[in-house]
Structures are given as structure tokens and as C-alpha cells.
């Protein structure tokens, strides 16, 4: 008797973890970077931009409405952050 194991990738509904990360340089989604809380998505994007190569841009967006929430671009000596005013205080 053998057990059948289903190895399909897990799908997460957009309402459970709506905040995602996008690499603008390679135009790909970052795998396994889905967040339920907006601030956690921004922290992860800042951390990824800090260790990325110069010129890499990580974007945080909401899949429910396609809204861009922030961009983190790695520069030579720092990380440039672009967000709308009051973005992290709105929930």
C-alpha cells in the first residue's frame, strides 16, 4: 500500500496575503514574498533592497487593486525610498 502525495504548489487567496513584492529590474514577482500586513511588506522590501545589487528596485504593491505602495531602489551608498505621504500610517 503506497500513499499518494500531492505536490501542487500552495495557492494563497489574494484576500489573505494581498501585499506582494515585485523586482522592477527583472520584471518578476519575488517568490514566497506575500504579506498580510503592509508594514511587514515594506520591511522585507527594504531589507531585500539593502542586500541587492546596485540599481535593483523592489516594489511593494497590493494585488486587490493593483496599487503601488512603495519603491525601494539600491544606490551606491544607500537605499532610495519612494512612498506616498503617510503611506505607513494608513493601516
pLDDT tens-digit map of 30-61: 888 889 999 999 999 999 999 999 999 999 99
Euclidean distance between CA atoms 30 and 9, whole angstroms: 15
Classified as helix, coil or strand, 60 is strand
Number of Cβ atoms within 10 Å of the Cβ of 87:
16
More confident residue, 2 or 23: 23
Q: How confident is the model at residue 7 (pLDDT cuts 50, 70, 90)?
A: very low
For the entire predicted model, the pTM comes to: 0.77
pLDDT, residue 91, reads 46
Tell whether the model's pLDDT for residue 2 goes beyond 60: no
Q: What is the CA radius of gyration of the chain?
A: 16
Euclidean distance between CA atoms 9 and 12, whole angstroms: 10
- CA distances in angstroms from 56 to 2, 12, 23, listed in the order given: 47, 27, 7
Euclidean distance between CA atoms 12 and 57, whole angstroms: 25
Amino acid at each position: 500500500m503506497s500513499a499518494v502525495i500531492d505536490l501542487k504548489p500552495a495557492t494563497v487567496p489574494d484576500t489573505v496575503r494581498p501585499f506582494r513584492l515585485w523586482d522592477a529590474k527583472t520584471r518578476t514577482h519575488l517568490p514566497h514574498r506575500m504579506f498580510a500586513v503592509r508594514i511587514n511588506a515594506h520591511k522585507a522590501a527594504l531589507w531585500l533592497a539593502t542586500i541587492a545589487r546596485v540599481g535593483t528596485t523592489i516594489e511593494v504593491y497590493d494585488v486587490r487593486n493593483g496599487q503601488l505602495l512603495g519603491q525601494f531602489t539600491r544606490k551606491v551608498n544607500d537605499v532610495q525610498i519612494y512612498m506616498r505621504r503617510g503611506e505607513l500610517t494608513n493601516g
